[in-house]
């Protein structure tokens, strides 16, 4: 999958052209893909109008609710409630669990994490009651995702491990890969990069084996993020490029948007601010088109970071262009403006990671502008979030959970070894018993043979003494 450095360099030199090509030539196809999604929902609406009040209608309502959670979560919530009402009316427990899960997805999309957790736990309770393992695994993973989004990393990894265990016991490969990738994201958040890469590569192997292209692309992007954090920029770009090929082939606008923003960070870390800004602005435009607030606010913050670094630069090597001003003050004011939009936006959707990162840069930007009161405000905000998210206690909790997981795997292996040993002992006993029986049979056969031999000899001796017996015998034969 990794390209050689020569190829990476060549690709990097034309990447901005490729990105512009995407925005101006491929966006119509992306829009058509969106219309197809809307058309699918419209088709479901038509089916629901004539559907009978049975389990099939519950499934239709579930499809409508889930299809809406990435487009219109409020609409998804409406149909999720209709689904729940009908499932309760039919006294269909699995249908109720489906409805709770759909509602959880839509509330999570609306960043209402408290309600999302309530619905996910309700779904989990029912699925555990009816013994639906796939549903249990899915609910556990969704609960972990909410905790991960809230930076509750010990809780997130606890639920990811629970989901992983169920998938391993059930042999559900895609679920195993998904949860390995989720666990990797937690380790990436606490900057444990060796474990991040280890879990991602385990996931990638399974996804390649199963032919899950979207999963492969996302995991490639996640691996690239780690290499970017480790300042291994050529490796990062190589993985992003591999991911981009898949996203473009699938017209996955969400994946493309994420990848563009991440590639902009690589260019920024390489101090290639012109490419970084061009990439960020394209990613921002795309995030606005797909109406994804998370990507939109993060790209605004990324643009602010780039302008701050430009304003801070004292080397004189940055060449002004249509986006980079010759004036340090102009670049600094742009930095403050975009960072403020990023911080405020991330706060509004409860994105703690984004709020943490951009608050730090905004504090630094105000300090550079000598506006010390604003600098102190944002620095305090940054410190409060950092202390709550990256406390030593939380990292210790995660380490303990990892240790517990390793011990469980060891205990499981010990149990398997014991079963294998007991099986081997049983086989050995059967083998020994078989050997004993065989020896007894052989002994009986030898004894029978010897007895027969003695009888024959006695008969011969008797005939010799009484020849008339031999005659009678021969006569009888005739």
pLDDT tens-digit map of 410-434: 556 656 665 766 666 666 666 777 7
Contacts (Cβ under 8 Å, ≥6 apart) of 317: none
278 and 306 belong to one structural domain: yes
Does 235 reside within a domain?
no
DSSP codes, 387-444: HHHS-HHHHHHHHHHHHHHHHHHHHHHHHHHHHHHHHHHHHHHHHHHHHHHHHHHHHH
Claim to verify: residue 430 and residue 340 sit in the same structural domain: no
Say if residue 297 is in the same domain as residue 368: yes
Q: Domain range spanning residue 329? A: 271-390
Closest to 65 (Cα-Cα) out of 41, 88, 91, 35: 41
pTM of the model: 0.68
Domain assignment present for residue 165? The answer is: no
Cβ-contact 109, 76 below 8 angstroms: yes
Residue 27 lies in a domain: no
Look up residue 428 and give its two tokens: 């050995």
> What's the rounded Cα separation, in Å, for the pair 468 and 472?
6
Q: Is residue 119 part of a domain?
A: no
pLDDT computed for residue 38 by the predictor: 61
Residue 320 sits in a domain of what CATH number?
1.25.40.10
Does residue 406 share a domain with residue 334? no
pLDDT at 309: 96
In this prediction, residue 43 carries a pLDDT of 85
Q: How many domains does the chain have?
A: 2
CA distances from 82 to 71, 119, 382, 463 (A): 18, 15, 42, 105
Over the stretch 62-85, which tens digit does the pLDDT of each residue have?
999 998 887 789 999 999 999 999
- Where is the domain boundary, 361, 390, 419? 390
Q: Name the one residue in this structure whose structure tokens are 């690589």.
A: 266
Q: What is the DSSP letter of 22?
A: I
Q: Are residues 362 and 437 in the same domain?
A: no
What pLDDT sits at residue 470? 55
Residue 323 lies in a domain: yes
pLDDT per residue rounded down to tens, the chain (478 residues): 333 333 233 333 333 333 333 333 333 333 334 444 567 777 888 898 888 999 999 999 999 999 888 778 999 999 999 999 999 999 999 999 999 999 999 999 888 999 999 999 999 999 999 999 999 999 999 999 999 888 888 899 999 999 999 999 999 999 999 999 999 999 988 889 999 999 999 999 999 999 999 999 999 999 999 999 999 999 999 999 999 999 999 988 889 999 999 999 999 999 999 999 999 999 999 999 888 888 999 999 999 999 999 999 989 899 999 999 999 999 999 999 999 999 999 988 888 889 989 999 999 999 999 999 889 988 888 888 777 666 655 665 666 666 566 656 655 665 666 576 666 666 666 677 777 777 777 777 777 777 776 666 666 666 666 665 554 444 444 3
**CB-based contact 301:338 (threshold 8 Å):** yes
Residue 385 and residue 276 share a domain: yes
The last residue of one of the domains, among 390, 424, 442, is 390
Instruction: State whether 275 and 385 are in the same domain.
Output: yes
- Which pLDDT score is estimated for 437? 74
For helices 173-189 and 133-149, angle between their N-to-C axes, nearest 10 degrees:
20
Q: Of 366, 390, 414, which closes a domain? A: 390
- 383 and 465 in one domain? no
Q: Is residue 328 part of a domain?
A: yes
Residue 125 belongs to a domain: no
From residue 197, alpha-carbon distances to 189, 194, 336 in Å are 12, 5, 34
Does 190 map to a domain? no
Residues 428 and 374 both lie in one domain: no
The pLDDT of residue 34: 41
Instruction: Indicate if 386 and 276 belong to the same structural domain.
Output: yes
What distance in Å separates the CA atoms of residue 304 and residue 307, rounded to the nearest whole number?
Answer: 5
pLDDT of residue 41: 76
Res 189: pLDDT: 85
Question: Angle at which helices 173-189 and 213-229 pack, to 10 degrees?
Answer: 20
Residues 422 and 442 reside in one and the same domain = yes
416 and 325 fall within a common domain: no
């Amino acid at each position: 999958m990794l390209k050689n450095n020569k190829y990476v360099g060549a690709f990097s030199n034309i990447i901005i052209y490729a990105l512009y090509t995407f925005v101006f030539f491929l966006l119509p196809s992306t829009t058509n893909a969106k219309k197809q999604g809307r058309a699918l929902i419209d088709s479901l609406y038509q089916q629901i109008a004539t559907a009978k009040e049975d389990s099939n209608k519950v499934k239709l309502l579930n499809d409508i609710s889930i299809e809406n959670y990435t487009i219109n979560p409020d609409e998804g919530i409406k149909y999720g409630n209709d689904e729940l009402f009908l499932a309760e009316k039919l006294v269909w427990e699995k249908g109720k669990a489906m409805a709770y899960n759909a509602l959880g997805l839509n509330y999570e999309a609306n960043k209402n994490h408290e309600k999302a957790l309530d619905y996910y736990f309700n779904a989990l309770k029912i699925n555990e009651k009816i013994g639906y393992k796939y549903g249990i695994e899915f609910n556990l993973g969704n609960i972990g995702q909410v905790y991960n989004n809230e930076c509750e990393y010990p809780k997130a990894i606890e639920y990811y491990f629970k989901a992983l265990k169920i998938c391993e016991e059930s042999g559900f490969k895609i679920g195993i890969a998904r949860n390995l990738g989720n666990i990797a994201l937690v380790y990436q958040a606490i900057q444990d990069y060796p474990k991040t890469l280890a879990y991602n590569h385990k996931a990638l192997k399974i996804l390649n084996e199963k032919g899950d292209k979207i999963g492969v692309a996302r995991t490639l992007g996640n691996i690239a993020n780690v290499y970017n954090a480790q300042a291994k920029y050529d490796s990062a770009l190589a993985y992003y490029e591999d991911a981009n090929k898949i996203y473009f082939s699938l017209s996955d606008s969400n994946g493309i948007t994420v990848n563009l923003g991440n590639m902009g960070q690589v260019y920024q870390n390489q101090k290639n601010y012109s490419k970084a800004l061009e990439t960020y602005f394209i990613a921002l435009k795309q995030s606005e088109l797909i109406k994804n607030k998370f990507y939109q606010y993060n790209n605004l913050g990324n643009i602010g970071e780039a302008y701050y670094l430009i304003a801070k630069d004292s080397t004189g090597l940055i060449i002004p262009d249509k986006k980079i001003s010759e004036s340090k003050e102009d670049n600094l004011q742009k930095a403050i403006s975009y960072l403020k939009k990023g911080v405020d936006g991330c706060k509004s959707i409860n994105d703690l990671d984004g709020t943490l990162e951009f608050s730090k840069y905004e504090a630094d930007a105000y300090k550079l502008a000598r506006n010390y009161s604003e600098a102190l405000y944002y620095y305090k905000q940054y410190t409060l979030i950092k202390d709550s998210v990256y406390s030593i206690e939380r990292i210790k909790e995660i380490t303990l959970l990892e240790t517990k997981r390793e011990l469980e795997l060891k205990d499981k292996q010990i149990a398997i070894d014991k079963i294998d040993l007991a099986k081997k002992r049983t086989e050995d006993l059967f083998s020994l018993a078989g050997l004993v029986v065989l020896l007894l049979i052989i002994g009986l056969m030898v004894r029978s043979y010897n007895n027969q031999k003695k009888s024959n000899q006695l008969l011969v001796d008797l005939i010799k003494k009484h020849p008339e017996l031999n005659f009678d015998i021969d006569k009888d034969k005739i």
